[in-house]
């Protein structure tokens, strides 16, 4: 019966992914079936923690995130959690040797969102991105390389740069909501009021450099992972291009999106590129 519960737990993580992120869900579908469940479980865990600090405004967020962390470590000890998202994640952590420093760094950044609203220095900014995004890329890389530590070390920097690029694109896209709804300014020295074309250009240049480095890692990924990661890469590159072509005043007043029709086209494009072994 435990096997049935575990299977249901992984299905719950898949459901979370499908409902919270159509773009990421699409990318996961392009991964080999042998690693999809593990990536769904990673997404489910980090998504729930993120929702606690970003969305549950009518509840005691500090209590919820602390309880979420305690439940995770209890599950690691017992080998089971009645929270299906945590149950599936702890299985993945053990199976793919996801180290505890990655989990701790992620939870630390989530907790920062409860007490810190402005990142004044580059060091603070980079530390937050490491915990909120880079380590998620490293968790996924642990799954992709399936215990090959040499391959993990070889691709570690590129995986972190891809996580950074994704997060910075999210920051740029969500500038309005982060500032006005959540009262957060992630970019050092930049607020909604000071955001202009020059600062936008500087941010985009930084993201484009992250993407350039990340791509060098994507081409070296195992075949089971390469197409799925490349699909996510192409989607975020498209979103960045759209942000680049959008006036800063519009970015500050609305949330820029990539349409489902465009996503379908990007999938077709990435499939052709992959099949022609151009990546």
Distance in Å from the first CA to the final CA of the chain: 43
- Cα angle 72, 75, 76; round to 5: 90
pTM across the whole model: 0.92
Q: Where are the domains of the chain?
A: 1-276
CATH 3.40.190.10 fits 1-276, yes or no: no
- Establish how many alpha carbons lie within 13 A of residue 13's alpha carbon, considering only the half-sphere containing its beta carbon: 27
Q: Place 264 in a pLDDT band, splitting at 50, 70 and 90.
A: low
3-state class percentages of the chain: helix first, strand second, coil last, to nearest 5: 75, 0, 20
pLDDT in tens, 75-93: 999 999 999 999 999 999 9
DSSP, collapsed to helix, strand or coil, labels residue 185 as: strand
DSSP, collapsed to helix, strand or coil, labels residue 118 as: strand
How far does Cα 211 stand from its chain's mean position?
Answer: 14
Query: Is the separation of the CB atoms in 251 and 187 below 8 Å?
Result: no
pLDDT in tens, 209-257: 999 999 999 999 999 999 999 999 999 999 999 999 988 888 877 777 6
Query: Is the separation of the CB atoms in 156 and 141 below 8 Å?
Result: yes
Least-confidence region, from 20-34, 44-58, 104-118: 20-34
Question: What pLDDT sits at residue 43?
Answer: 97
Q: Place 1 in a pLDDT band, splitting at 50, 70 and 90.
A: confident
Q: Report whether pLDDT(130) > 80.
A: yes
Query: Is the separation of the CB atoms in 190 and 162 below 8 Å?
Result: no
Q: Report whether pLDDT(278) > 80.
A: no
- Cα angle 170, 174, 177; round to 5: 150
């Amino acid at each position: 019966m435990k096997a049935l519960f575990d299977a249901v737990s992984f299905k719950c993580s898949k459901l979370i992914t499908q409902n919270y992120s159509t773009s990421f869900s699409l990318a996961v579908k392009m991964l080999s079936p042998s690693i999809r469940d593990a990536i769904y479980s990673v997404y489910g865990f980090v998504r729930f923690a993120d929702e606690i600090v970003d969305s549950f405004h009518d509840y005691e967020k500090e209590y919820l995130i602390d309880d979420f962390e305690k439940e995770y470590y209890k599950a690691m000890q017992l080998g089971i959690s009645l929270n299906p998202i945590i149950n599936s994640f702890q299985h993945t952590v053990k199976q793919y040797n996801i180290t505890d420093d990655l989990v701790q760094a992620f939870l630390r950044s989530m907790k920062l969102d409860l007490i810190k609203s402005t990142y004044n220095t580059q060091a603070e900014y980079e530390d937050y991105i490491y915990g909120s995004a880079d380590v998620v890329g490293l968790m996924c890389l642990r799954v992709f390389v399936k215990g090959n530590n040499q391959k993990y070390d070889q691709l570690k920097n590129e995986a972190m740069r891809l996580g950074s690029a994704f997060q910075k694109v999210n920051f740029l896209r969500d500038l309005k909501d982060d500032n006005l709804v959540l009262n957060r300014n992630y970019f050092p020295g930049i607020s909604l009021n000071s955001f202009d074309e020059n600062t936008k250009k500087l941010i985009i240049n930084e993201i484009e450099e992250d993407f350039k480095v990340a791509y060098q890692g994507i081409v070296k990924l195992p075949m089971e992972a390469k197409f799925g990661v490349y699909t996510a890469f192409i989607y975020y590159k498209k979103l960045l291009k759209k942000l680049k072509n959008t006036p800063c005043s519009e970015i500050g007043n609305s949330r820029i999106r990539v349409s489902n029709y465009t996503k379908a086209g990007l999938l077709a494009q990435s499939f052709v590129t992959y099949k022609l072994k151009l990546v």
